[in-house]
Structure 1
Amino acid sequence: MWRNSGYGVALALLLSVMATAARAEDVLAKIRDSKTITLAYREASFPFSYLDQDKKPVGYAIDLCLKIADAVKQQLKLPQLNIAYVPVTSSNRIDVIASGKADLECGSTTNNAERRKRVDFTIAHFMASSRMIVRVDDKIKNWPDLRNKKVVTTKGTTSVKSLEDRGQVRSLNMTVLEGHDHNESFKMVEDKTADAFVMDDVLLYGLKATAKNPAAYAIVGEPLTTEPYAIMLPKGDPAYKALVDREMGRIIHDGEIYKLYTKWFLSPIPNKNNLTLNMPMGYLFRESLRFPSDQVGN
C-alpha cells in the first residue's frame, strides 16, 4: 500500500498515459500489418456521417476520411488498403478512438480542450453554431421563450453545457432531457415530448429537411457557441497525426474541400431523394480555410 496516496494516484495516471501512448504510436504499423484502416462513423449525423439506403456509411466527413485513408495507403506503399467501419454514438466515440478501436472518427465532433486530453484532432472541416429546432406552432423564437419548457439534446454532446454556461437552464427553469442519438432527440420534438432540441445548426437543418413535414419546424435562437468540427484520431502518435494533418491541408489548399462542400451542402443528394440543404458556407469557416490549423481557442 502506498503511504503517499497522491504519489500512487500520480503514478497510476502516468502509467495510463504511457499505455495510451504506446497503443497510439503503433497506428501506422498496425495499419501496415493488417492492411486495414478502421473508420468510426455515426448512423444519424446527416450530412456528415450516416447510413444510406443500403446501410453503407456515407457523408461529408466519410468522404474526407476516405481521402485520408488513400493518403495512408500511399504513404505505406500498400497495393491495397481495406476499409473497416465501426459505428459510434455521441457517448462512446471518444472512448473508441482513445482505446485504439478505430483509427479515425468521421463524424460531427467538436474539437475542444476537454476532449484533447484524450484524443487528437486534425484541421477543422466545418464550423457550426448551437441553436434549437422547435415546432412552428409553439412560437418559440429565442432562449427566453424556453422558460419552464422541456429541452432535449443528444447524450454526450456539448449543447447542454453551452446552455448551462450561460445560466440558461437554471434561470429559465428548463427540464433537460437526453436522446440516444440525434434522430431520437428530434423525435421527442415531433412527438411533443420536448419543446426544443438544442444542437449544432447544421445537424438541425439536416433533420428538418428529412422530416415528414419540414414546414412544421423552425431553427431558431441566437447562436450560443461556435463549434469547430474535426476528425478525431488516437492521441500520442506524431507521425500518424502529421500524415493526417498533411492530407487535410492538401484537401484544403487544392480546393477539394469546396467541391465536397458543394456536393453535401449545396447540391441534391441522390441517396436522400435529391434532398438539398441549401446551406451556404459560413463566414467563419471560409475564413478558417485561409489559414488551416488544428489549433482552436476552447
Structure 2
Amino acid sequence: MRLRSLLPVLLAGLAASAGTASAQDLTGTLKKIKETGQITLGYRDSSVPFSYLDNNQKPVGFAMDICYKIVDAVKADLKLDKLEVKLNPVTSATRIPLIANGTVDLECGSTTNNVDRQKQVAFTNTHFLTANRFVAKKSSGLTKFEDLKGKTVVSTSGTTNIKMINEYNAEKKLGITILPAKDHAEAFLMVETGRAVAFVMDDVLLASLAASSKEPTAYAISTDALSKPEPYGIMLRKDDAPFKKVVDAATAAFYKSAESGPTYDKWFMKPIPPRDINLNLPMSDALKGAFAKPSDSPDPAAY
C-alpha cells in the first residue's frame, strides 16, 4: 500500500527531471533562443521584393514572410508562450559575419546559396531561383535568345551576364552586336530609347527595372534563360543541426503548402509598397519544382 501510494509522486518526479534534462540538452541557436526568449532576424533595406523597408521603415518582403513562418515554428518547437523578434539590418558585406558571430540568427534576403558560402554558413531550402534572361519591349516580339540574331543588345559591363551572352553569340554564330553599359540603369535606358532591343541580366533585377519604368506594361522578360537557376536561401549558422532541422521543416512545410503560391504572388505579381510597383514575374517552372521538392542544394543543376 505504501509503495503504491508513492508511485504517482515518483512518476511525477521522473517526468519533471526528464523535462529538465530535455531543456538542458538544447545546444546552439535553439538554446540561445530558449534562454533569451528572443530570435534575431537580419534584413536588407533595399532587396526588393525579398527584404526592404516600406513607407514606415518597417522591413517587409517575400523573404521576411518566410522568416516569420520559421519564427512560428521555432516558438512551437521550444514550447514558448511568446518569442520576441529582434530586427537587425545587414548588408552584402556584413550578412555572413553577423550570422557567423551569433548577432543574427536568420538572414532574410536574396543571398545566393553557393558552394563557397556553404563553407562559412548554412542555408535552408531554396526560396527563389534567378537566371540570366533578357527584357525587351513587347512590341518587338522577342521572347527567346534565338530571336536576338543580328540585333543589338546590351548588358552591364563586368558581369557574368555579359560574358554569357558573348559566349552564346560566338557559339551560335548569331551575329548579335553586344554593347556594354556602365550600370543597370544605363542598360535599361538603352532599351527604353531604342539603342538596343534587349537588356541581358538576372530576371528578378530586370523585373524590378521594368516595373519602375515610365511604362511598365510595355516590357516582357524572355521565356528562356542562358544560365541554370541560381538558388537564393535564408542563411543560418553552420554546424547547428538541431536549429537547421527546425528551420528546414518549417520552410519545406510552407513551400509545399497551398499558402506558398499566394504569398509569392503577393510580392511578385501584385503592386507592392511603398510605390505600388508590380514586378509581373510569374513563378518559374524551376521554382515550382523546388517548392514541390524542397532542397538546400547550392548546385544549379539540382534545379
Question: How high is the TM-score relative to the length of structure 2?
Answer: 0.69
Query: Over aligned residues, Cα RMSD in angstroms?
Result: 3.7
Structure 2 letter corresponding to 1:211: S
2:111 to 109, 131, 140: 109
Match of 1:38 in 2: 40
CA deviation map 1:94-120 (0-9, x unaligned): 232233221111111221111111111
Alignment of 1:200-279 (within 5 A): 200-212=202-214, 214=216, 223-225=225-227, 226-269=229-272, 271-279=273-281
Structure 1 CA distance, aligned partners of 2:92 and 2:149? 24
> Is the contact between residue 268 and residue 275 of structure 1 (CA under 8 Å) also seen in structure 2?
yes
Structure 2 CA distance, aligned partners of 1:81 and 1:265? 29
Q: Which of 111-120 and 212-221 deviates more?
A: 212-221
Structure 1 runs not aligned, ≥5 long: 1-24, 154-159, 178-184
> Is the contact between residue 142 and residue 220 of structure 1 (CA under 8 Å) also seen in structure 2?
no
Percent identical residues: 40
The DSSP-based 3-state class of the residue aligned with 1:289 is helix
CA deviation map 1:107-138 (0-9, x unaligned): 112211111111111111122212356899xx
CA deviation map 1:164-220 (0-9, x unaligned): 57875xx9998686xxxxxxx54454788xx99865212320232123554787756
Seen in structure 2, the aligned counterparts of structure 1 residues 256 and 218 have a Cα distance that, compared at 3 Å, is closer
> Is the contact between residue 163 and residue 224 of structure 1 (CA under 8 Å) also seen in structure 2?
no
> Is the contact between residue 155 and residue 199 of structure 2 (CA under 8 Å) also seen in structure 1?
no
Match of 1:151 in 2: 156
Structure 2 letter corresponding to 1:34: T
Equivalences, count: 258
Structure 2 letter corresponding to 1:128: T
Seen in structure 2, the aligned counterparts of structure 1 residues 267 and 65 have a Cα distance that, compared at 3 Å, is same
Structure 2 runs not aligned, ≥5 long: 1-26, 171-176, 191-195
CA deviation map 1:63-88 (0-9, x unaligned): 00011011111222222222222222
> Is the contact between residue 132 and residue 220 of structure 1 (CA under 8 Å) also seen in structure 2?
yes
Question: How high is the TM-score relative to the length of structure 1?
Answer: 0.70
